[in-house]
């Protein structure tokens, strides 16, 4: 009974509790128009920042489509609703939208949202310009035990990776085609720091032990995607 109640509490926490919220819009630039798309992002970010919405622009790298992510960041569910309303009715935003729709420099290929499982995390705790993100998207095993095991695994991995030099954030995706999956981000100041941490992981007895345990746990879930990105713009 205790195990059932704990599993239920994990599901309710993951699905109904909202700390930091991300909205991620992935855009593919039209041929020869990458610079124009970036300028469009920067203009949009100026408007969103004025409204109080955090913005991050990430250039996707190895393991990805090499597109660009436009990321909106909110502290919690209350600020999400309030700032979305403000954005919808903002005159500058609607003028900007009309201009972009008349002469687009790229196409939207996907969009999704996610909430940080750490309820203390704020929107301005995301990434800064020049930082590097190594990301891992996991599909939990079916049922309550699968989600419980995945969240526990992320929680156990975080202090190990942070002691080795990364900053870690974990999100559950709550909309889009990958809804329900878990996103594990390892964040570094630069690629050199990422390389040092990766090398240290290979010789860390603590990490190798947890990795072996996870690989042999049928309830742990499946890694479905991983890649890298660099933050090329950030507005808090």
3-state secondary structure of 234: strand
Name the nearest CA neighbour of 67 among 123, 119, 106, 10.
Answer: 106
pLDDT digits (tens, 9 = 90+) for 123-153: 887 889 999 999 999 999 998 899 999 999 9
CA end-to-end span of the chain, whole Å? 45
Q: What is the pLDDT of residues 205-217, one digit of tens each?
A: 999 999 999 999 9
**Residue that has been written with the tokens 């800064």 in this structure:** 128
Give the ranges where 103-190 is alpha helix by DSSP (H): 143-163
Helix pair angle (143-163, 205-215), 10° resolution: 170
Q: What is the pTM of this model?
A: 0.88
Domain boundaries along the sequence of the chain:
17-119+128-235
Distance CA 14, CA 174 (A): 9
Fold of 17-119+128-235: Alpha-Beta Plaits (3.30.70)
pLDDT digits over 153-190, tens only?
999 999 999 999 999 999 999 999 999 999 999 999 99
Label residues 36-69 b or e (16+ Cβ within 10 Å = b). ebbebbeebbebbeeeebbbbbbbbeeebeebbb
Question: What pLDDT score does 1 carry?
Answer: 37
> pLDDT at position 15, please?
45
**Region 73-84 average pLDDT:** 95
Q: Which of 5-9, 124-128, 134-138, 198-202 has the lowest mean pLDDT?
A: 5-9
Instruction: Kindly report which listed range (11-20, 196-205, 215-224) carries the lowest average pLDDT score.
Output: 11-20
User: Do residues 19 and 121 touch, judged by C-beta distance below 8 A?
Assistant: yes
C-alpha to C-alpha distance for 48 and 87, rounded to whole angstroms:
7
Burial of 169 (0-12, 13-18, 19+ CB in 10 A): buried
């Amino acid at each position: 009974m205790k195990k059932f109640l704990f599993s239920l509490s994990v599901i309710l926490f993951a699905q109904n509790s909202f700390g930091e919220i991300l909205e991620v819009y992935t855009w593919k630039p039209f041929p020869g128009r990458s610079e124009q798309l970036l300028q469009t992002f920067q203009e949009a970010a100026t408007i969103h920042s004025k409204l109080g919405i955090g913005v991050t622009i990430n250039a996707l790298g190895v393991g990805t489509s090499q597109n660009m992510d436009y990321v909106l960041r909110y502290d919690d569910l209350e600020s999400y609703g309030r700032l979305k309303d403000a954005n919808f009715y903002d005159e500058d935003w609607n003028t900007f939208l009309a201009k972009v729709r008349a002469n687009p420099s790229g196409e939207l290929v996907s969009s999704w949202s996610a909430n940080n499982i750490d309820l203390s995390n704020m929107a301005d705790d995301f990434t800064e310009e020049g930082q590097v993100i190594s990301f891992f998207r996991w599909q939990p095993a079916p049922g309550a035990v699968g989600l419980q095991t995945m969240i526990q695994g992320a929680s156990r991995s975080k202090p190990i990776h942070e002691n080795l030099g990364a900053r870690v954030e974990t999100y559950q995706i709550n909309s889009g085609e990958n809804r329900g999956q878990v996103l594990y981000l390892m964040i570094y100041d630069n690629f050199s720091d990422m390389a040092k941490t990766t090398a240290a992981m290979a010789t860390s007895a603590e990490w190798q032990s947890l990795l072996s345990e996870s690989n042999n746990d049928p309830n742990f879930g499946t890694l479905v995607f991983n890649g890298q990105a660099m933050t090329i713009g950030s507005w808090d």
